């Protein structure tokens, strides 16, 4: 055998030598061939994901002059932001018209919760220290996420920046000040410190104040009423500390603590011939601490654990002669104890399995007479699988929900149990082109909030959970680099959602009551486009756009006059576009946000129609770099054309405003 192998090797060598050209043999058979550099753009997960995913980078938001989460979310196709006007107005997000309660907001991998109202106010989140913001229909492809993400119809994920150090330093300091129209002043300070190769921490503090007294116009036939918003001031403070530790065997531990406090006036609705000024105020305080631990348990097992404690306090007051004492006060305190563990198993190449268990306890206390003071224990168990091989990706999961409640006064609802499945499929249609087909189904439901069940006389303890079924089919494509054209990315998804047992308030003989009274059928189209050209070194232009077509119809009762009417505050057409031009001297971003007409009530009649609008923003920035520090100066003009419009009826939005930002980094 050895002789046979040796003979074959010698024969192969002889053939190789005889095949050389004369020049090869004269030079010893060795030639130098010039290297060829092959570059390619990695296919973004927003294109290859089986579930519709959109992402905005923090640097991209800064160039566009976007420093609030609500303004960032408006750029996502399929996201409706309800804005009650002004700097301090409440802002909530509903994805594909499923309702704000069906959208989970995740901050560095841990869900933000509000069991009292069920929806998160986006106005309290700034983007000063955000790495990226991601909106996913369904859940992320990563099997190591918590069960709460699997249980939600959509997930809005906020990822904060982790410390990065340059020039061999072990610390970094950044200070930023924003100032603008209507008394806006918002200073921010961030400090990063590396203690050693495996341990670092960050401190972040932000303060914001504004009087918010912007002018508005209210049409009155052929005339217009002009005035200024009243009771619109806001003061907020936020401090955050993070510790990042690297552990043996590729482990890590991230610990975060945050305190937030705000005081704001509630300006109320603007109504013709009603000159009464609002004297309502709201105070909010919240403290939370959370920890995320990850560890590899061998080559095929991985563990991620999360824990969180939240305590929040809310106070509402209204001064009016209609109250016996001249003043009405409501106070609420809610808390949550949350624990989560996800065990991932990777038995084969391309195959990922996980088991996630979340358990949390929520409590609510209030100053109401004989309050229910509910306490809810919830368990979520998710079993997930993902397989990716070649041009195919398949994902599936099922979530088991169990919830029980205890109250101090009155009756409590029955325990609730539910199984919610989900499946997604993605196929690369062409071997040499990044063209993907994707489809998804997901069933979710949301438990009634504490307000739905126990608030005053309107709460109803017999409410059923609100159920939603999501269907999605889409195509995605991204190009190769072609000369000046760096890339073009296109996505298009058509979807159908069906919401059953929708929880709504409707009038009874004397008071409004919460009930499972609604069913909504939702059809729509989401389309996005991103293109970038790089004509010269140091110069680039990027255009991104999104469009949403949606039909959200009330199909509760065929005999109702509202049957197949578009549900309130749902435009059929909406979209946005951003043109960014990058040069060695200036960065310029021009943004347009468009929204079609919609209705303020269930009746789709002209008297309840709210006109569409287009809002334009221009932002110009310049970065100056020095040896040990850098500075960025930015000026933005929002609502460039001074468009007067409303997102919520009788809550006028601000007109043209100017904002300047100065950032210094060491």
Report, as an integer, the average pLDDT of 509-513: 58
Report, as an integer, the average pLDDT of 549-574: 91
Q: By mean pLDDT, which of 163-167, 286-290, 553-557, 571-575 is the weakest?
A: 163-167
Report, as an integer, the average pLDDT of 446-474: 90
Which of 161-165, 238-242, 506-510 tops mean pLDDT? Answer: 238-242
Q: Residue 148: which of 393, 333, 287, 336 has the closest Cα?
A: 336
Residue 19 has pLDDT above 50, yes or no: no
Indicate the helix (H) or strand (E) that contains 546: strand 540-554
**Unique residue bearing structure tokens 């269907």:** 471
Query: Quick one: pLDDT band at residue 504, thresholds 50, 70, 90?
Result: confident
DSSP string, 579-614: EEEE-SS-EEEEEEEEE--EESSSS-SGGGEE--EE
Give residue 588's pLDDT: 96
The residues with which 632 forms a beta bridge, in sequence order, are 623, 663
Residue 33 has pLDDT above 50, yes or no: no
Q: Are the beta carbons of 423 and 395 closer than 8 angstroms?
A: yes
| Average pLDDT over all residues of the chain | 88
**Unique residue bearing structure tokens 């609604």:** 518
State the Cα–Cα distance between residues 492 and 525, nearest whole angstrom.
7
Report, as an integer, the average pLDDT of 448-472: 90
Give residue 220's pLDDT: 67
Give residue 506's pLDDT: 59
Strand residues in 229-320 grouped as ranges (E): 234-247, 251-266, 280-296, 301-319
**Could you read off the pLDDT of 621-646 as tens digits, one per residue?**
999 988 889 999 999 999 999 998 98
Q: Residue 439: which of 391, 483, 495 has the closest Cα?
A: 495
Query: Quick one: pLDDT band at residue 34, thresholds 50, 70, 90?
Result: very low
DSSP string, 313-342: EEEEEEE-TTSTTSEEEEEEEEEEEEEEEE
Tokens of 211: 């009087």
Give residue 177's pLDDT: 97
Q: Are the beta carbons of 393 and 426 closer than 8 angstroms?
A: yes
- In CATH terms, the fold of domain 45-85+141-665 is Maltoporin; Chain A (2.40.170)
Residue 497 has pLDDT above 70, yes or no: yes
Residue 259 has pLDDT above 80, yes or no: yes
State the Cα–Cα distance between residues 583 and 622, nearest whole angstrom.
9
The upper half-sphere exposure of residue 214, i.e. CA atoms within 13 Å in the direction of its Cβ, equals 24
Q: Are the beta carbons of 46 and 489 closer than 8 angstroms?
A: yes
Query: Quick one: pLDDT band at residue 230, thresholds 50, 70, 90?
Result: confident
State the Cα–Cα distance between residues 462 and 244, nearest whole angstrom.
45
**Could you read off the pLDDT of 133-145 as tens digits, one per residue?**
999 998 888 999 9
Please return the burial class of 223, using the count of CB atoms within 10 Å of its CB with bins 0-12, 13-18 and 19+: exposed
Give residue 37's pLDDT: 41
Report, as an integer, the average pLDDT of 507-536: 83
State the Cα–Cα distance between residues 248 and 419, nearest whole angstrom.
38
Residue 171 has pLDDT above 60, yes or no: yes
Give residue 7's pLDDT: 41
Give residue 627's pLDDT: 84
- Which residues are CB-neighbours of 340 under 8 A, at least 6 positions away? 110, 146, 147, 148, 305, 306, 307, 356, 357, 358, 359
Q: By mean pLDDT, which of 166-170, 221-225, 619-623 is the weakest?
A: 221-225
Q: Would you say the C-alpha torsion 29, 35, 36, 40 has a positive or negative sign?
A: positive
Q: Decide: helix, strand or coil at residue 276.
A: coil
From residue 116, alpha-carbon distances to 4, 307, 541 in Å are: 81, 20, 45
pTM confidence score: 0.89
Please return the burial class of 213, using the count of CB atoms within 10 Å of its CB with bins 0-12, 13-18 and 19+: middle
Report, as an integer, the average pLDDT of 300-322: 94
Report, as an integer, the average pLDDT of 32-55: 69
Give residue 224's pLDDT: 75
State the Cα–Cα distance between residues 94 and 137, nearest whole angstrom.
12
Give residue 88's pLDDT: 66
The residues with which 51 forms a beta bridge, in sequence order, are none
Indicate the helix (H) or strand (E) that contains 629: none
State the Cα–Cα distance between residues 607 and 622, nearest whole angstrom.
47
Give residue 441's pLDDT: 97
Q: What percent of the chain has pLDDT over 70?
A: 91
Give residue 86's pLDDT: 65
Q: Where are the domains of the chain?
A: 45-85+141-665
Give residue 41's pLDDT: 52
- Which residues are CB-neighbours of 579 under 8 A, at least 6 positions away? 541, 542, 543, 589, 590, 591
Give residue 42's pLDDT: 62
From residue 77, alpha-carbon distances to 444, 469, 527, 592 in Å are: 21, 19, 7, 14
The residues with which 351 forms a beta bridge, in sequence order, are 348, 387
Q: How many helices (H) and strands (E) does the chain have?
A: 7, 35
Compute the CA torsion angle 119, 125, 127, 131 (nearest 10 deg).
-60
Give residue 401's pLDDT: 97
**Unique residue bearing structure tokens 């991103």:** 530
Residue 496 has pLDDT above 60, yes or no: yes
Q: Within 10 A of 503 (CB to CB), how many other CB atoms are there?
A: 24
DSSP secondary structure code for residue 620 in this structure: E
* Better-scored residue on pLDDT, 558 or 273: 558
Residue 85 has pLDDT above 70, yes or no: no
Report, as an integer, the average pLDDT of 590-613: 92
Report, as an integer, the average pLDDT of 149-164: 94
Please return the burial class of 241, using the count of CB atoms within 10 Å of its CB with bins 0-12, 13-18 and 19+: middle
Give residue 141's pLDDT: 87
State the Cα–Cα distance between residues 265 and 263, nearest whole angstrom.
7
Q: Residue 105: which of 62, 72, 83 has the closest Cα?
A: 72
Residue 385 has pLDDT above 80, yes or no: yes
Q: What percent of the chain has pLDDT over 90?
A: 65
Give residue 575's pLDDT: 95
Please return the burial class of 444, using the count of CB atoms within 10 Å of its CB with bins 0-12, 13-18 and 19+: buried
Report, as an integer, the average pLDDT of 436-453: 94
Give residue 30's pLDDT: 40
**Could you read off the pLDDT of 182-211 as tens digits, one per residue?**
999 999 999 999 999 999 999 999 999 999
**Could you read off the pLDDT of 328-362 as tens digits, one per residue?**
999 999 999 999 999 999 999 999 999 999 999 99
Give residue 221's pLDDT: 66
Give residue 273's pLDDT: 62
Query: Quick one: pLDDT band at residue 31, thresholds 50, 70, 90?
Result: very low
Residue 426 has pLDDT above 60, yes or no: yes
């Amino acid at each position: 055998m050895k002789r046979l192998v040796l003979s074959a090797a010698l024969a192969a060598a002889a053939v190789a030598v005889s095949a050389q050209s004369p020049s090869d043999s004269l030079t010893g058979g060795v030639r130098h061939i010039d290297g060829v550099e092959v570059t390619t753009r990695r296919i973004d997960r927003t294109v290859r994901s089986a579930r519709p995913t959109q992402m905005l980078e923090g640097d991209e938001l800064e160039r566009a002059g976007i420093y609030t989460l609500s303004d960032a979310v408006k750029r996502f196709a399929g996201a409706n932001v309800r804005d009650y006007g002004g700097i301090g107005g409440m802002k909530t997000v509903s994805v594909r018209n499923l309702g704000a309660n069906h959208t989970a907001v995740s901050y560095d991998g841990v869900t933000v919760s509000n069991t009292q109202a069920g929806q998160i106010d986006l106005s309290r989140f700034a983007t000063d220290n955000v790495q990226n913001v991601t909106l996913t229909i369904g859940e992320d492809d990563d099997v190591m996420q918590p069960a709460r993400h699997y249980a939600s119809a959509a997930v809005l994920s906020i990822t904060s920046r982790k410390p990065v150090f340059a020039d061999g330093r072990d610390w970094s300091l950044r200070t930023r000040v924003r100032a603008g129209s209507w008394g806006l002043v918002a200073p921010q300070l961030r400090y990063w410190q590396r203690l050693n190769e495996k341990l670092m921490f960050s401190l972040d503090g932000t303060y914001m104040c504004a009087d918010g007294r912007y002018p508005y116009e209210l049409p009155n036939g052929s005339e217009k009423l002009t005035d200024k918003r009243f009771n619109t001031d806001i003061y907020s403070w936020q401090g955050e500390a993070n510790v990042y530790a690297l552990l043996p065997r590729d482990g890590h531990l991230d610990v975060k603590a945050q305190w937030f406090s705000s005081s704001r006036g509630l300006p109320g609705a603007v109504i013709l011939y009603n000159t009464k000024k609002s004297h309502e105020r709201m105070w909010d305080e919240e403290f939370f601490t959370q920890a995320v631990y990850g560890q590899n348990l061998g080559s095929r097992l991985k563990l991620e654990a999360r824990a969180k404690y939240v305590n929040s306090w809310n106070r509402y007051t209204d001064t009016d002669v209609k109250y016996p004492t001249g003043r009405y006060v409501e106070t609420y305190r809610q808390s949550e104890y949350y624990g989560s563990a996800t065990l991932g198993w990777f038995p084969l190449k391309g195959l990922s399995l996980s088991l996630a268990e979340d358990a949390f306890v929520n409590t609510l206390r209030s100053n109401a007479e004989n309050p229910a003071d509910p306490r809810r224990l919830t368990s979520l168990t998710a079993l997930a699988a993902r397989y990716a091989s070649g041009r195919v990706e398949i994902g599936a999961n099922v979530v088991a929900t169990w919830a029980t409640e205890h109250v101090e006064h009155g009756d409590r609802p029955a325990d609730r149990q539910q199984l919610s499945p989900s499946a997604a499929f993605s196929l690369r249609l062409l071997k040499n082109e990044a063209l993907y087909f994707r489809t998804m189904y997901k069933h979710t439901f949301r438990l009634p909030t504490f307000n739905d069940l126990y608030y005053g006389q309107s709460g109803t303890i017999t409410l059923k959970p609100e159920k939603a079924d999501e269907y999605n089919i889409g195509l995605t494509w991204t190009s190769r680099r072609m000369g000046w054209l760096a890339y073009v990315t296109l996505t298009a998804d058509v979807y159908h959602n069906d919401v059953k047992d929708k929880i709504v308030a409707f009038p009874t003989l004397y008071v409004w009551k919460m009930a499972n009274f609604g069913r909504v059928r939702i059809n729509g189209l989401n389309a996005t486009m991103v293109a970038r050209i790089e004509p010269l070194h140091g110069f680039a232009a990027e255009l991104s756009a999104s469009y949403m077509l949606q039909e959200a119809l009330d199909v509760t009762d065929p005999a109702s006059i509202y049957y197949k009417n578009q549900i309130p505050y749902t435009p059929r057409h909406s979209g946005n576009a951003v043109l960014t031009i990058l040069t060695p001297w200036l960065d310029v971003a021009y943004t347009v946000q468009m929204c079609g007409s919609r209705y303020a009530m269930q009746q789709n009649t002209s008297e309840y129609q709210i006109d569409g609008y287009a809002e334009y923003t221009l932002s110009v920035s310049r970065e100056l770099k020095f040896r040990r520090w850098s500075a960025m100066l930015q000026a933005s003009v929002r609502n460039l054309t001074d468009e007067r419009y409303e997102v919520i009826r009788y809550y006028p939005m601000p007109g043209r405003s100017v904002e300047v930002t100065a950032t210094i980094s060491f």
